Chains A and B, each alone.
Chain A
Amino acid sequence: MAITTSSPPPVDPGPVTSGAIEASAGNESRAGSESPAGSESPGGSESRAGIVPSQVVPPGRRGRRLRGPRSTGLLPYLLIAPALVLELVVHIVPMILGVWISFVSLTQLTLRRWTEAPFIGFDNYRNGLNPSSAIGQDFFSSLLRTSVYTVIVVSLAWAIGMLAAVLLNRSFHGRAFFRTFFLVPFALPAFVTTIGWSFIFNQQEGALNHVLVENLGVLDSNPFWLLGDNSFVVIVVVGTWRLWPFAFLMLLAALQSVPDDVYEAAALDGATMWRQFRTITLPLIRPTNSVVILVMGLWTFNEFTVPYILFGAQPPEQALLLSNLIYSNSFVNFNFGLGAAMSVLLLLALLAASLVYVRLFLNRGEDSRA
C-alpha cells in the first residue's frame, strides 16, 4: 500500500509509478531488446542513459532510466525474495539434492555422514536400466505396468466423469444433491477410503466376496483380490473411484460454459444427442479436456497412496507401480541412490511426455479459441 499511495517522484511526470515498478523487474531485459531506440542509444551503458536526449527514449521508459535502474531494480527483487527463497527451499533444493543422491552410493551405512557418501557416477542408473538384471527388470516391468495403469484409470475416470457431467448438466430436481454426492470420493481422505476398500476386498470377511459367494452364489469359493493378478484389478478400481469426481467436476464446469443455443440450433437441424456431443460438446470443451487429461495422467502415473495403503511397503508384483518401487528401493532396501536414480528417470519421462502432450494438444486448443 505504501507504494501506490505515496506521491509521484519529483523528477518523473510519466505514467503511473506502480506500473513502472511492476514492469521494471520482468521487463528490464525485454524492454532493451524489443525497442531499437533503447538498444541503440548512444553509449549503451545504463549510467549514461540519464543524459540521453529525451526524444530518443519513449517517455514511459525514460522515467525509469532517469531515476537510475539500479535503485529501482532492487525493489522488485526484494519483493519476490520471500517467494524465491521458499521456492528454492521447497522445490529446487530438494530436487537438486535428489539428483545429487542419484550419483552417490547412499545406503544406511553411509547415511550418518551423507554429505560424504562416495560418488559413483552413473552406476545407480546403470543398475536401474540394465534390462538383464533383477533390478532393471523390476524397473521396466513396473514402468510398463504403470503406463498401462495410467491409460486404463485415466480413460475410465474420464468416461465416468464425462457421463456424470453430461447427465447433471441439465437441470432437474435433486441435481444439487447428486453434484455434491459425486464429489464424496474426491473429498474424503485417501487413507480412509482406501482402508475401507481393503476391507471390502478382504478374502475371508470382505463385503465383495460375501456378495459374490454367499448372496449371489456366482462363485463357489472366495477368490483373492489382494493377492496375485486380481491385485492389479483392485488398484485400477480404487484408483478410478478416487479420480473420476475430479474429471466430473472440471468437465461439468466446462459444460456450463457451452451456451444452450448451439444445442438448440443443432436440435433444430435434427442432430442426435450423440452427434451433438461429438460435434459440439467435445470441440467446445477441448481446452479444458486437454488440461484435465494431462493433470489426471500425471497424478495417476505418480500414484503411490493406493498400492501403499492396500498392500503396505511391498505390494504384490502385479500391483507394484513405479512410485512404490522407488519407495521400496529407498525406504525398504535403503538404497537411496538407486531410488533417487529411478526418481530422476521418472521425472524425465514425465517431463518428456508432458512436453509432447502440451505441444500436441494444448497449444492447438489455445489457437482454436483465439
Chain B
Amino acid sequence: MRHPITAAIAVAVVLCGGLAACGSDDSQDSAEPNGEPLVYWATNMAPTIEDDEAVLTPELAKFTEQTGIEVELEVVPWDALYNRILTAVSSGEGPDVLNIGNTWSASLQATGGFVPFEGDALEVIGGDDKFVATALAASGAEGQTPTAVPLYGQSYGLFYNKQMFADAGVPEPTDGWTWEQFTDAAAALTQDTDGDGQTDQYGFAMTGASVANNSHAAFILGRQEGASLFAEDGTPQFDSDATVSAVTRWVDLMSSGVTLPGSAEYTGDAEADNDLATGKVAMVIQQSGSRNALAALGFDDYGVSQVPVLDPLPEGGQATQTMVAGINISVFADSDQQEDALQLVNFLTSTEEQVILNAAYTTLPVVTAAYEDPTFNDDVSETFATILNDHAEPMPQVPEEGQMETLVGGAVKELVAQAATGATVTEDDVRSALANANEQMQAAG
C-alpha cells in the first residue's frame, strides 16, 4: 500500500510543479506596479520594421509624457496582420489599439470585435468632423457606426522616370492623361537601347504577383468601365461585362509587351520601385508611400501625375483613379483600457501628429487641418491629395471585401502570369477566371 501512495505523491508533486510554474508567471504579470501598458499594433509603413519603430517610438514617448499612459509598440508585418487580428478577435486576447488596412474596415466591423466610434468614444477622439471626407468614407459599411477611423491616407499615382521620357523624346504625362495616351507612351518607351536585339527597357512594371494590387487594379479600372463588384443587394458579380473588359485591359498591358515580363513575379512594391529608379521601366502605378522607397534608393528624378482614365468613358463609367487607400485605426472591444486606448487614437489623429507621421511615411494626412502645414505643399503631395480628394472611391464597404480581394486578385494574378509566360489570354479566359472566383465567393457566403 505504501508504493502507490508514494508514487501518487510523486505524481502530484510533478503536476503541482507544472501548475506552480504557471501560477508564478501570472503573479509576476499582475504584480506590475504601474498597471499594464497599452498594447499597440502598428502596420509596416516604412521600408523596414526598424524604420517604423524609429518613427513611432519618439511619438509614443511624447504621448506617455502627456498622459502618463505607457504604450507597448509592436509593428506587425502585412502578411501576418489579418490573421493576427482574427486570432485576437476569436480569443479575446489581443492589442488595445491597432492599425488596419482601411479596405478591411467593413469586414472587421462585422466581426463585432471593435469599439464603435459613437457617443463618448467619438468625443474622446475629438469628433469625426476633423477627418477628410473621402478618408472617412472608407471606415465601414454604410449606415452602420464605424469601428475604425482614418489614420494615414494613400492613393495611387502614376510615377514616371523623367530622364527616360526625355531620352525617348516622349512628352511627360500630364494630369488628365487618357488610357490610350498612357499605353502609347508605354509602347514608345519599350526599347532595345543597346541594339543587341533584346528589349532592355520597358514602358511599365506592375506588381503582378500581388493579390491585393491586382484586386485594386480590377476595382479601379472596373469603375472606369462602370462596374460594381457587388450588386446593390450584396451579391457578388465579379464576372460582369464591365469587370471582364477592365481586367482584360489590365492583362493586355502584359500581353502587349509594353510591361516588363519579369514584373509578373513581383509580390511587393519594392521591386517595381527599384526598376523605376534604375531605369529599367519608365512608369509604375504605385501608392504615395513609394516616395519613401524611392528616396531610400537615392532616386529623385521622378514625377507623379494622375492615373490615366478611359476617354471617352463607357456608359456608367466613373473617372476613378484610385480606391481610397490607407490605414485606419481601431480599438479592440475586449480591451480593459478602452478609455486610454481612445486617448491614443485621439493623439495619433491630432493635427500635430498627423503632420509628423504622414511626413515621415510620405502618406497623406487624414485630418483637414494638417493640410495647412507647408510639408504637404510640394507638387507631388498636392497631386496625391487631389487624386485622393477628387478622384477616389472607397473599395466596396461590405464584410466580404477581404475575400473579394483574395479571389478577384488571385484570379487576375493567374491571368497576368499566363500573359507573361506567353499564353494568349482572351476575354473568354478572363470571363471564366472571374466567374470561377464569383462562384467561390457565393459558395463561401
CA–CA, A114 to B88, complex, Å? 12
Is chain B's binding surface mostly helix, strand, loop or mixed?
helix
CA–CA, A206 to B226, complex, Å? 41
CB <8 Å contact, A71 and B4: yes
CB <8 Å contact, A74 and B4: yes
- Which one of B308-316, B373-381, B386-394, B417-425 is at the A interface? B417-425
CB <8 Å contact, B420 and A3: no
CB <8 Å contact, A224 and B439: no
Q: Which chain A residues numbered 87 to 129 have a C-beta less than 8 Å away from chain B?
A: 107-109, 111-112, 114, 127
- Which one of A183-191, A278-286, A329-337 is at the B interface? A329-337
Q: Which chain B residues numbered 389 to 417 have a C-beta less than 8 Å away from chain A?
A: 399, 402-403, 406-407, 410, 413-414, 417
CB <8 Å contact, B7 and A78: yes
Give min CB distance, B12 to chain A, whole Å.
8
Q: How many residues of B contact A (CB 8 A)?
A: 49
CB <8 Å contact, B403 and A227: no
| Interfacial chain B residues near A317, Cβ < 8 Å | 414
CA–CA, A104 to B436, complex, Å? 24
| Interfacial chain A residues near B410, Cβ < 8 Å | 314
CB <8 Å contact, B421 and A75: no
Checking B3, B418, B439 against A133 with a beta-carbon cut-off of 8 angstroms, the contacting residue is B439
CA–CA, A328 to B403, complex, Å? 11
B135 at the interface (CB under 8 A from A): no
- B83-122: CB near A (< 8 Å → 1, else 0) gives 1001001100000000000000001001111000000000
Checking B3, B107, B112 against A112 with a beta-carbon cut-off of 8 angstroms, the contacting residue is B112
B265 at the interface (CB under 8 A from A): yes
A9 at the interface (CB under 8 A from B): yes
CB <8 Å contact, B110 and A314: no
Give min CB distance, A139 to chain B, whole Å.
11
| Interfacial chain B residues near A333, Cβ < 8 Å | 403, 406-407, 440, 444
CA–CA, A134 to B399, complex, Å? 22
Pick from A82, A221, A316 the residue with the most CB of B within 10 Å.
Answer: A316
| Chain A, Cβ-Cβ closest to B18 | A82
| Interfacial chain B residues near A227, Cβ < 8 Å | 209, 264-265, 417, 420-421
A79 at the interface (CB under 8 A from B): yes
Checking A67, A79, A222, A334 against B403 with a beta-carbon cut-off of 8 angstroms, the contacting residue is A334
| Interfacial chain B residues near A112, Cβ < 8 Å | 89-90, 111-113
Known A75-B3, A334-B403: A81·B11 in contact at CB below 8 Å: yes
Checking A79, A114, A203 against B7 with a beta-carbon cut-off of 8 angstroms, the contacting residue is A79
Q: Which chain A residues numbered 62 to 82 have a C-beta less than 8 Å away from chain B?
A: 67, 71-72, 74-75, 78-79, 81-82
CB <8 Å contact, A108 and B4: no
B267 at the interface (CB under 8 A from A): yes
A293 at the interface (CB under 8 A from B): no
Known A111-B111, A203-B265, A314-B211: A332·B406 in contact at CB below 8 Å: yes
B262 at the interface (CB under 8 A from A): yes
| Interfacial chain A residues near B90, Cβ < 8 Å | 111-112, 114
A343 at the interface (CB under 8 A from B): no
Could you jot down 18 A-B contacts, CB within 8 Å?
A2-B3, A71-B1, A78-B8, A82-B18, A108-B86, A108-B107, A108-B110, A108-B402, A109-B110, A111-B90, A134-B436, A135-B439, A203-B262, A222-B262, A227-B420, A314-B406, A333-B406, A333-B444
Q: What are the 5 closest A-B residue pairs judged by CB atoms, nearest first?
A: A204-B262, A134-B439, A227-B417, A228-B421, A75-B4
Instruction: Please list the residues of chain A having a beta carbon within 8 angstroms of any beta carbon in chain B.
Output: 2-3, 6, 9, 17, 21, 67, 71-72, 74-75, 78-79, 81-82, 107-109, 111-112, 114, 127, 133-135, 138, 202-204, 221-222, 224, 226-229, 311-314, 316-317, 328, 331-335, 338
Instruction: Please list the residues of chain B having a beta carbon within 8 angstroms of any beta carbon in chain A.
Output: 1-4, 6-8, 10-11, 14-15, 18, 79, 83, 86, 89-90, 107, 110-113, 198, 209, 211, 261-262, 264-265, 267, 399, 402-403, 406-407, 410, 413-414, 417-418, 420-421, 423, 436-437, 439-440, 443-444
Q: A75-B4, A82-B11 are in contact. List 8 more A-B contacts (CB 8 A).
A: A78-B7, A111-B86, A112-B111, A112-B112, A228-B423, A311-B209, A316-B417, A333-B444
